[in-house]
Amino acid sequence: MIDLRSDTVTQPTPEMRRAMAEAEVGDDVYGEDPTVNKLESEAARLLGKEAGLFLPSGTMGNQVALLTHTNRGDEVLLDPEAHIIYYEVGSPAMFAGVQLRTVPGLLGEGAADALRNAFRGKDLHYPECTLVCLENTFNRGGGTIMVPEEMEKVYDTAHELGLKVHLDGARIFNAAVASGRDVRDFSRYCDSIMFSLSKGLSAPVGSMLAGSSEFIRKARKYRKALGGGMRQVGFLAAAGLEALKLVDRLEEDHKNARYLAESLNELPGLSVDLKKVQTNIVIVDITGTGKNSAEFVREAASRGVGCTGFGPHLVRFVAHKDVSRADIENVVKIVGNMLS
């Protein structure tokens, strides 16, 4: 199987496996795991934040951030296609007890104006609006990048309105590498940021949350409340430290995604918006094939290609470490045979 369903399917590298086996560990709930402490410090340093927190998953990281930034009954603004509202099981309602209000256009050009127009001031009838959530790269946008200049405008507008900014930066290093920018060019324009170690960076598990020392102090308590006190977890943090060494190789994934997008776009019945292929995600419109996405995905899987439905007539392919250029070329042949 050439598995392009997601970059979450990546296998840990040999270096990760060795580091995990040899990791020095302690009780992280007591703050005594030296490998976790090292990972949290290194992640914070890379992002230009005061402190970091290691968590089992990106979803937990986002939900801990919402709990830390808000009070029950508050309003949180985010894009209608954002991961937090689309793929996180209604967690903001279950745990933080907040109201999510969607703001179209919050993740692209003109986002600051969209935020300002959506913001409602204090009124007896309105919830207290306290947080805006951004996402970079934008998963359902096809892996598109919100450039730092747009993030800065949103950040300044949010602070002017008395709001904090949380960034779901699960693939923020993809954004940095593809843009040729330092990751701090993005992370400086948010009050907190989550990024994933287990997607393109290929760790077997884990995400990081970073922000001010006070934010992380409070977030650590919410992590414990959600079941994230993982004790001798340094063996997983060791894999995370190795993952941070793989940032530069993300460029290879971006090149493979571009090749795949351009090749699939030439096949009959398929259409790809090449302007949106900016990182490692390729969204293909299969309307012209006469198939729906479920049919397409099933047939591709039967021929040895893994991909995912992204709508009735949209299919997603994600390039990652464990898929070579030769694999990508084979995928193009297989899909071409499906359509012949």
CATH tag, 249-339: 3.90.1150.10
pLDDT at site 63: 98
pLDDT at site 22: 98
Residue 340: pLDDT band (50, 70, 90) is: confident
Residues 214, 206: Cα–Cα separation, whole Å: 22
pLDDT tens digits for 171-211?
999 999 999 999 999 999 999 999 999 999 999 999 999 99
β-partners of residue 102 are 78
Give the whole-number percent of the chain exceeding pLDDT 90: 99
Give the HSE-up count for residue 134: Cα atoms under 13 Å, Cβ half-sphere.
37
Three-class SS of the chain: CEECCCHHHCCCCHHHHHHHHHCCCCCHHHCCCHHHHHHHHHHHHHHCCCEEEEECCHHHHHHHHHHHHCCCCCEEEECCCCHHHHCCCCHHHHHHCCEEEECCCCCCCCHHHHHHHHCCCCCCCCCCEEEEEEECCECCCCCECCCHHHHHHHHHHHHHCCCEEEEECCCHHHHHHHHCCCCHHHHCCCCEEEEECCCCCCCCCCEEEEECHHHHHHHHHHHHHCCCCCCCCHHHHHHHHHHHHHHHHHHHHHHHHHHHHHHHHCCCCCECCHHHCCCCEEEEECHHHCCCHHHHHHHHHHCCEECEEEECCEEEEECCCCCCHHHHHHHHHHHHHHHC
State the average pLDDT for the chain.
97
pLDDT tens digits for 259-282?
999 999 999 999 999 999 999 999
Backbone angles phi and psi of 247, in degrees to 5: -60, -45
Q: Which amino acid is at 61?
A: G
pLDDT value at 313 more than 90: yes
The domains of the chain are located at: 11-245, 249-339
CB atoms within 10 A of CB 208: 28
Averaged pLDDT for residues 322-326: 98
pLDDT at site 131: 98
pLDDT at site 84: 98
Crossing angle for the helix pair 234-243 and 14-22, nearest 10 degrees?
Answer: 150
Q: Answer for the pair 279, 254: CB distance below 8 angstroms, yes or no.
A: yes
Place of tokens 């922000």: 211
Residues 6+ apart with CB under 8 A from 185: 148, 176, 179
pLDDT tens digits for 95-113?
999 999 999 999 999 999 9
pLDDT at site 55: 98
Averaged pLDDT for residues 76-84: 98
Averaged pLDDT for residues 147-175: 98
pLDDT at site 174: 98
Q: Does domain 11-245 have CATH number 3.40.50.450?
A: no
Using CB atoms within 10 Å of the CB of residue 329, give its burial: 0 to 12 exposed, 13 to 18 middle, 19+ buried: middle
CB atoms within 10 A of CB 312: 10
C-alpha of 319 from chain center: 14
Nearest-CA neighbor of 102 among 78, 127, 76, 126?
Answer: 78
Give the whole-number percent of the chain exceeding pLDDT 70: 100
* 249-339 matches 11-245 in CATH topology: no
Averaged pLDDT for residues 233-241: 98
CB atoms within 10 A of CB 123: 7
